[in-house]
Amino acid sequence: MRMKNPVSLAASSLACLARAVIRPGNLTGAVFEKRYGMEHGMRIRQTVLGLAVVFGYLTGSPCGYAQEDLGTGKETPAQRDARMQWWREAKFGMFIHWNTSCVPGGVYHGKHNYFVGEWLMHDEKVSVAEYRSYAKQFNPVKFNAEQMVLLAKEAGMRYVVFTAKHHDGLAMYASKVSPWNIVEATPFKRDVVKELADACQKHGLRFGLYYSHAMDWNNPGAAVPGGIWDKAQAGEMDEYLRKVSIPQLEEILSRYGKISVLWFDTSYDMDRRRADMVRAVLKLQPGIIINDRLGGDYPGDAASPEGSIPADGMPGRDFETCMSINDTWGFKITDQNWKPRKVLLEQLVDLASKGGNYLLNVGPNPEGEIPAPAVKRLKQVGEWTKLNGEAIFGTSASPFKKQLPWGRCTKKVDAAGATLFFHVFQWPTDGKLAVPGLKNQVETAYLLADPAKKPLQTAADAAGATIHLPAAAPDKDISLVVVRVKGQVDIADQP
């Protein structure tokens, strides 16, 4: 991306800082948290990210990214919309972080690592030889790809993204490029990528792969933030890309059928030339969707905010927020801070109302199972999506410029009008749901949980519309009120 003015330069610089600071577990973020504490460190991160978004909008480029075509330059807007359609409709996916780091589980020589579990090798400066010894203990005999995929489907998720290789460099499949793979380096000797790909195909979920293309703490020459700590990591970045990263990308994009998403992570030392080297492999999967972490100022198909939801969404930009069901991405023994059903549902709804996707992460344990508290919560979310999925999947962002004081809105538009789905977080004690600024004529309103769709009484005035609700909410956390309106949605500006 070429900067044309000082504001653009500031936006890009701030965005780079934001991407470094906002990512839990990375070097810069760790410094902030260690110096200021977890709570204040996260507030600083969020402030920097917010400033980056503001500067990005000033330049017409959210978070400092140029809005460029990632492909050949020949894709029309209609072709892009067709390629992105399934993803935009899906809204909800499962992220799976799993590798050798689950064996120590965030504990090194009796010390509980302060940061996220999968960064233990980096944070504790574990030697390559010692870290590889963990692989000899990695035998997840309880892993069942079909059960994992069925759990995702039960939760309402429409796609799965799995870590084919995280920063520790272990390929979670039978790689011919490097013996540092789960088939050769562990007693498990099974191709996890293949099993998950087959299970997703069998049960109708889209399958995507995460691949750490730049950072790798085991294969020599890769990017290492803060510098190497073991001479076994020494080498040249270009050679690493040519001999490990690109060949492995070619493997995962050519062996496992349709790969719908390629999720790059961290763009350390990835200039434009190196990014071009890597992106050439995308031709192996026509129609693939990638995120914004390749490097070289390529924006990708979708932005990937991590651990936060942009306050106003990202207008004009596809985006997907990734969050973990607890605090860490990979399995960590001490992390029992599981998000409750209410928080998970509010995050899903909030993102859908802003036009974004929700990629919710789980970290399987050394036995190969998703921890029981995570399973419980995913099933709880699934109970809700089974009844209310119509208000999430296939919807678009809220037409209201300001957030509704009691909840969120998603919509579906057709030639005759629109269906508005009001997600009510706070059920009105007086039985009156005020919809500020709605100017359209209401054709009908009903509770989504009511199979009979019994009409609710509505009224309109200069301030908007009012919907009369029963005393009890259908759901303890988020209840749905469906409103059908005539014509194009018309919302008056609110003070």
Query: Residues 344, 419: one domain?
Result: no
The residues that bridge with 323 in the sheet, in sequence order, are 360
* Residues 6 or more apart in contact with residue 372 via CB below 8 angstroms: none
Same domain, 46 and 175: no
Both 472 and 372 in a single domain? no
Q: How many CB atoms lie within 10 A of CB 471?
A: 9
What is the count of structural domains for the chain? 3
Match 């928080």 to its residue by tokens: 343
> Are the CB atoms for 303 and 291 separated by under 8 Å?
yes
Query: CB–CB of 37/21 below 8 Å?
Result: no
- What are the structure tokens assigned to 106, written together? 């965030």
Asked whether residue 173 falls in the same domain as residue 35, the answer is: no
pLDDT at 493: 87
Q: Please say which residue of 363, 391, 419 terminates a domain.
A: 391
The three-state (H, E, C) secondary structure of the chain, written as one string: CCCCCHHHHHHHHHHHHHHHHHCCCCHHHHHHHHHHCHHHHHHHHHHHHHHHHHHHHHCCCHHHCCCCCCCCCCCCHHHHHHHHHHHHHHCEEEEECCCHHHCCCCEECCEECCCCHHHHHHHCCCCHHHHHHHHCCCCCCCCCHHHHHHHHHHHCCCEEEEEEECCCCCECCCCCCCCCEHHHHCCCCCCHHHHHHHHHHHHCCEEEEEECCCECCCCCCCECCCCCCCHHHCCCHHHHHHHHHHHHHHHHHHHCCCCCEEEECCCCCCCHHHHHHHHHHHHHCCCCEEECCCCCCCCCCEECCECCCCECECCCCCEEEEEECCCCCCCCCCCCCCCCHHHHHHHHHHHHHCCCEEEEEECCCCCCCCCHHHHHHHHHHHHHHHHHHHHCCCCECCCCCCCCCCEEEEEEECCCEEEEEEEECCCCCCCEEEEECECCCEEEEEECCCCCCCCCCEEEECCEEEEECCCCCCCCCCEEEEEEEECCCCECCCC
182 class by beta-carbon count within 10 Å (0-12 exposed, 13-18 middle, 19+ buried): buried
Instruction: Name the residue type at position 364.
Output: P
Q: Are residues 15 and 136 in the same domain?
A: no
Does residue 421 fall inside a structural domain? yes
Residue 461: CATH number of its domain: 2.60.40.1180
Give 344: exposed, middle or buried? Use CB within 10 Å, 0-12, 13-18, 19+: buried
| Domain boundary pick from 62, 89, 110 | 62
Tell me, yes or no, whether 400 lies in a domain: no
Same domain as 38, residue 173: no
45/75 same-domain check: no
Return d(Cα 57, Cα 21) in angstroms, integer. Answer: 20
Q: Angle 463-481-204 (CA atoms, 0-180°, nearest 5)?
A: 135
Same domain, 337 and 460: no
* Interior/surface letters 407-440, b for 16+ CB within 10 angstroms, e for the rest: bbbbbbeeeebbbbbbbbbebbeeeebebebbeb
> Which pair of tokens denotes residue 151?
């759990």
pTM of the model: 0.87
Please state, in angstroms and as integers, the Cα–Cα distance from residue 36 to each residue in 45, 51, 378, following that order: 11, 19, 33
Q: CB of 218 within 8 A of CB of 193?
A: no
- Are both 328 and 274 inside the same structural domain? yes
Neighbouring C-alpha atoms within 13 Å toward the C-beta of 401: 7
**What pLDDT shows up at residue 55?**
46
368 and 454 inside one domain = no
In a domain, 397, yes or no: no
Same domain as 91, residue 30: no
Q: Which residues of the chain have pLDDT under 70?
A: 1-73
Q: Please give the pLDDT value at position 72.
A: 45
Q: Between β-strands 417-424 and 479-486, what pairing exists: parallel, antiparallel or unpaired?
A: antiparallel
Residue 149 maps to a domain: yes
pLDDT computed for residue 73 by the predictor: 56
pLDDT recorded at residue 64: 35
Let me know if residue 402 belongs to a domain. Answer: no
Angstrom distance (rounded) from CA 145 to CA 370: 11
Query: What does residue 255 show for φ and ψ, rounded to 5 degrees?
Result: -100, -25
Domain of 453? 407-486
Any domain includes 399: no
Domain end, chosen from 18, 39, 62, is at 62
pLDDT at 430: 96
Tell me if 1 is assigned to some domain.
no
Query: The domain spanning residue 370 has which CATH number?
Result: 3.20.20.80
What phi and psi values does residue 370 have, to the nearest 5 degrees? -70, 130
Regarding whether 308 and 233 lie in a shared domain, the answer is yes
